[in-house]
Every structure is written in C-alpha cells, then in structure tokens.
Amino acid sequence: MTGTITAGVLRERAPGERRVAIVPEAVPRLRSAGVDVLVEPGAGQGGWFTDADYAEAQAAVVPADDIRERADVLLCVGPPGAELSAALRPGQALIGMLDPLGRPELVQTWAERRATAISLDLLPRTLSRAQTMDALTSQANVAGYKAALLAADTYGRYFPMLTTAAGTSKPAAVLVLGAGVAGLQAIATARRLGAVVSGYDVRPGSRGEVESLGARFVDLTSVASGAGEGGYARALTEDEQRAQQKELGTHIARSDVVITTARVPGRKPPLLVTAEALRAMRPGSVVVDMGASELGGNVELSEPDRTVVVEGGVTLIGAGNLPSEMAGAASTAYARNITALLAHLLRDGVPPDGALPVDPDDEIQAAVVVTHQGSVLSSSVAAALAAVPTVGGGA
C-alpha cells in the first residue's frame, strides 16, 4: 500500500430518502483497502445507524463542509444536487446511483468541473464478475420484498387460505407484472405469505424462473416475444402495447392484488395497467406500482409516493422508492456494492497522490465511469447528451 484515499459520506438530501451510502460494518473493510472514511453527522439515522456506531468503526464524524473539502471520493446513494455538483473539485470523484441518463445537466456539470463521476446504475448485469457491485439488483431485491409486504398490509383480507371456527377464507390472487429481480422477489414473498401468485413478463424465457417459485406464468397471445439484448426486454411497438394492455386487462380484473415492476433507466416506464383495467377490478383490490416516477408509471393514474383510492374502490400505491422504506437493509446491501467497487478500483493499491485510479480499458469501469478529466466517457450517456438541445440552439 503506497498511500491512502479519503472517502466522504454525506447525508442524502433528496426528500424521503433514508438510505446511506456506507454503513458502520463496511468501514473496517474500506480501511483495510487504504480508504479513510468521513461521515456527516446524522447521515445514517434513517437506517438507525448512529454517529457512535460510525465512530466505533473508526470512521471520523465531521461536518459536511469538511467532507466536501477533504474527501477524494464522495459516496452517495442518489444523484447529488446542482449545488454540490458545482462545488466538486477537479479530480474529485463521485460514486453513487447517479441516474446520468435522466440528468444530463448534472453530467455536463461533472465534466465541466473535471470530476470523476461513477454511476453504479450503469453496471451491466451480464458481467458476472461484477455481481457484488450490482446496486440495481441489491436494491431491487429489497423493493420487491417490500412491495409484497406493502400490498399485504393494504389489502383488507388475508393473503393465505385460512380455515377457522368462523369459516374458511380463500387465498388472495396476486399478479406480478415483470419478472426481473424485483418481480421475482415480489413473487417469492407473496408466495411465502400464502397467496396464489401469477407472474407475467414479456420475455418468454422468464417462464422457468416464475414457475420455479411456485407461481403460474401468464401467457399472452398478443405479444409473441419481447426479449431484447443482454437478457433485457425490448421496447414494444404501439400496436403491441395496446394488444398487451387489452389482454392483460382480463387477468388484472381477476386479481385481488397487482404489483408492477417494469422500469427503464432514464425513460418513461411502459404502461401496463390502464384506467379501464383499474375500473374492472373488484372494490378493495390493491395495485402497487413500483415503476412510478416523475416520468410516469406502469399504471395509469399513479403518482410517485402517493396512495389514492380510485373510482371503483381500488387502492393505487405509487411506490417509486421502496428501498428507502427499508433503509437499514437497503443501505447495508448498497454499502457492500460500493465497497466491492472501491476494492476493484484499488486492486493495485492506492496511488501516492490519493487520486482514485481510473482505467477506461477495464470492462467494468468502461461501463460505469461517466465523466473523467473533463470528458464524458460513457457512450450511452454521451448519446443521451447529444440528444439534449442546447440553450438557444435551433431545432
């Protein structure tokens, strides 16, 4: 080890965000890799991690201004605000789930500040050696689990079949739309709670995963296959979307609970449940839209972080940030992702100058490094920036 590097953990400023980038148990592992840790007071309180916990783990608890000034690397959960981005020093690094595809103005600021921005939400899930760094997967697991619990808590009847002296209650019929990580976890959790579960995904290859969890796979004749590259779903045509919505409506109407999980980074999520389908559901039914965001949701009428009872008596929950509702578990998993990434970046030791080493030829770094030394290195982000009109520019 030829040097040390200082990582700073700031309290998340986004409304409702309770997670923290590093938990106390991760500090010793970072220190063994040559990383000193600074933590803002109260940064972990949303997950019940106290300042004393961090101090005991040998992190320094210091004011936010000191962290911004002293840290070589700033660690965060969500993207920082414009003020923090504009204050980044040349060569200072920023690591988090930065949503660069949806925030081109921040990317431009990071490049102008000559900061190194590294976004974990760009990590391809097809890189098997990067699985320990896969924050999207770790957070989706938490979200899928919480979505099933939230649905069960909101639904006014039992999830399992119960036979009592007062009679027998039938199990809830749960439909999960999307069989990615979050969807599969929602299916597994709803099954553990005793519901009769069905799952749908536009990718036919998901059938085996759904059925392995004891759920029934929903076949649609309107969309033969929506499988795309790298195991992800492709974008459906407008005709395919309309046909999909119409056929799904029949299955939705028979369900007591529907959980939707389809999200597309930086783009509007696909509409799976129409207002007409909501009206066809029985009063007392529950719909949890995990795709809800400022860009829209999987469910017509849903809004992020808002629960409403729509006409007809269906409770619609716009659940855009469920991992924050389980901040302790989500932060612990996320801290392991961050720690694994830093260990990869520092695998050859910490440089004497304390700067975070960047190797664009490394396939993991080529995917996640957004900006470095004034340039936008990510090809996908560069393409998104090129599509953004400049101020005063022509059509």
- Residue 286: pLDDT band (50, 70, 90) is very high
Band of residue 392 on the pLDDT scale cut at 50, 70, 90: very low
Q: Express each pLDDT in 158-172 by its tens digit.
A: 999 999 898 999 999
Tokens of 98: 């930065």
pLDDT, greater one: 228 or 58: 58
pLDDT in tens, 45-58: 999 999 999 999 99
The CA distance from 241 to 129, in Å, is 35
221 falls in which pLDDT band (50, 70, 90)?
A: confident
pLDDT of residue 69 exceeding 50:
yes
Phi, psi values for residue 155, rounded to 5° = -65, 130
Q: What is the pLDDT of residue 391?
A: 38
Superfamily of domain 143-320: NAD(P)-binding Rossmann-like Domain (3.40.50.720)
Is the pLDDT assigned to residue 307 strictly greater than 50?
Answer: yes
- 110-127: average pLDDT: 93
Residue 278 has pLDDT above 90, yes or no: yes
Mean pLDDT of the chain: 92
pLDDT at 14: 95
Tell me if the domain spanning 5-133+326-386 has CATH number 3.40.50.720.
Answer: yes
User: For residues 35 and 56, what is the distance between their CA atoms, to the nearest angstrom?
Assistant: 16
Distance between CA atoms of residues 192 and 186, nearest Å: 10
Residues of the chain with CATH 3.40.50.720: 5-133+326-386, 143-320
Q: 306 and 287 in contact (C-beta within 8 Å)? A: no
**Tens-digit pLDDT profile for residues 241-254:** 889 999 999 999 99
